[in-house]
A and B are shown apart, each in its own frame.
Chain A
């Protein structure tokens, strides 16, 4: 029955995607985005844009896991905030250079991701999310209790230092372009991962895990690698943020932070490459705007979340892509 009602092949071939056109318009968009990012510090507050970039990278890292491997982690703040502490400590106490400090933070997040991931990927769905939440809460309480993290005060006055011993990052513009470079490297790595042989297997697992197993893939290993990559990149974002604000604090390891990255990703468009960037931009802008008003921030953000889930489930970028796909077919 179903077969008959469906379009026949000759009709259907008309609707085939045209990759050339797609790529051209995408390149233009990427070019415009880059130009905007380069010009941004002359128009907006550099610290604000740097904050957006850090959260955008964080959301992209989270999206790699949920959007391309189908794993919902509710504990990504542990990697983001954990790396922030390590980077801040390395820069302030050990006096290491900013790039080494950030790399240490990233490596720490990766190792933590390996431990958390190895435990969590044994379970699926909500249980997976709960295990990541529980383990990230452990990280939160450790951050609260340990000596080097400074408890409620966090690590303050983190020196930005000299990049490669030469470029003074206390210059806001130098710091900005450094953060932009970190973001672009992280984003490029995610883009490459999504469009790699590994990314193909990951998508197959997201789409139908038992089938991927039946094709000979030990899916738990692929999920673990995805988890470690995502955790490391979240750490890269967190470590960089601690140098931007010269501060590592408890805020970055709270479960609310884990929730916020979920919101950014869903709002922008889960499983799209640019969605998390858009989502992070909107959430960070809203938060800094609302901070100057009397409106309660969590209520507004919560309301947006509800509207997003009810009205545009694919997120902003996801809905736009769907709209464009429909237009092309029509």
Chain B
């Protein structure tokens, strides 16, 4: 069992000046699954997320990635191990073109990222790979537009393409469907499903119904603690979840 856990949190806690945002969270993300972390506002989802990606330092606890302790690592270095995150507000580089957005993620392995004397045309051979990734998220017609020109849902798609450029083993998506219209939600959910084929995904979501058919495992957080965990059918029938998280007896229609 333990060998197919790719990302694990042990006794993870985070305090902000006396306020306990995350308390003793034990989380196991299994390789090759889509794992959703949900909970109401202020449940500590984003904090857990920022802890796992090293954008915050835990007060207590350990984070293991493929059995290796990454608790003390820098966020940029975690990314190089294959643990790549997205952000809640769409994280694109607005004044770069769609192509450049993806290319900047591809260029690091070339080892020329500090070469200020080299021509930009030295990046030209990344173009094909970048266009493939752009094609994969259906953004080809927009390739030469600046990211700022894209509608919101497309920005999220670009963000996923940029994340995929690193070919991460684990993708951490922070509310990838938040603020989207119905069409965009379906398209993006399908995209997440598609890219999950050969990797692991941990996503934070606000709404249980959205992740219902997408995730293999759902962890419900409340006030910084884990309330329930399991597949949708189990979690959604958990009376504590129904009462505490939704406030009503009906889960999934909120």
**Interface residues, chain A, with chain B CB atoms under 8 Å away:** 1-6, 9-10, 12-13, 15-17, 189, 192-193, 195-201, 203-204, 207-208, 210-219, 221-222, 225, 229
- What are the 7 A-B residue pairs with the smallest beta carbon separation, nearest first? A9-B141, A216-B79, A207-B93, A198-B116, A211-B91, A6-B151, A3-B151
- Known interface pairs A3-B184, A200-B107, A215-B166; A225-B76 also in contact (CB < 8 Å): no
- With contact pairs A197-B122, A214-B84 given, residues A1 and B145 touching in the complex (Cβ less than 8 Å): no
Within B30-45, the residues touching A (CB, 8 Å) are none
Closest partner residue, chain A, to B55 (CB atom): A210
Residues of B82-125 at the interface with A, using a CB-CB cut-off of 8 Å, are: 84-87, 91-96, 100, 103-105, 107-108, 110, 112-120, 122-123
What is the CA–CA distance of A13 and B142 in the complex, to the nearest angstrom? 7
| Min CB gap B165→A, angstroms | 8
Q: How distant is the Cα of A2 from the Cα of B181 in the complex, in angstroms?
A: 8
A157 to B84, CA, bound (A): 59
Shortest beta-carbon distance from A5 to chain B in Å:
8
Give Cα A15 to B74, complex, Å: 41
Contact of A198 among B77, B84, B103, B114 (CB under 8 A): B114
A218's contact among B74, B115, B119, B162, by CB below 8 Å, is which?
B74
Interface readout for B31-71 with A: 1 if CB under 8 Å, 0 if not? Answer: 00000000000000000000001010000000000000000
In the complex, the chain A residue whose C-beta lies closest to that of B114 is: A198
Q: Measured between alpha carbons, how far is A200 from B104 in the docked complex, in Å?
A: 7
Q: Quick check: B92 and A12 within 8 Å, CB to CB?
A: no
- The CA-CA distance from A203 to B95 in the complex, in Å, is 9
Closest to B148 in A: A207
Contacts of A9 in B (CB 8 A): 141-142
Tell me whether A215 and B87 are in contact (CB under 8 A). no
A241, B183: Cα distance in complex, Å: 61
Check A195–B91 contact: CB distance below 8 A: no
Q: What is the interface of chain B, defined by CB distance below 8 A to chain A? A: 53, 55, 74-77, 79-80, 84-87, 91-96, 100, 103-105, 107-108, 110, 112-120, 122-123, 141-142, 144-145, 149-154, 162, 166, 181, 183-184
CB–CB A197/B79 < 8 A: no
Which residues on the A side are within 8 Å of B153 (C-beta)?
A: 2-3
Query: Which single member of A4, A6, A197 contacts B113 (CB below 8 Å)?
Result: A197
Q: Which of A16, A198, A212 contacts B144 (CB 8 A)?
A: A16
Give the one of B104, B116, B117, B123 with max A CB within 10 A: B116
- Residues in B with CB closer than 8 Å to A1 are 181
Question: Given A1-B181, A16-B145, A197-B107 in contact, is the A215-B84 Cβ separation under 8 Å?
Answer: yes
B115 touches A198 (CB 8 A): yes
Contact indicator B181/A215 (Cβ below 8 Å): no
- CB contact under 8 A between A12 and B120, given known A196-B115, A207-B93, A216-B76: no
Contact pick for B118, options A196, A219, A222, CB 8 Å: A196
Contact at B116–A229, with CB atoms within 8 Å?
Answer: yes
CB distance from B83 to the nearest CB of A (A): 10
B47 CB, min distance to chain A CBs, angstroms:
15
Contacts of B76 in A (CB 8 A): 213-214, 216-219
The CA-CA distance from A208 to B85 in the complex, in Å, is 14
Name B152's contact: one of A2, A15, A208, A218 (CB within 8 Å): A2
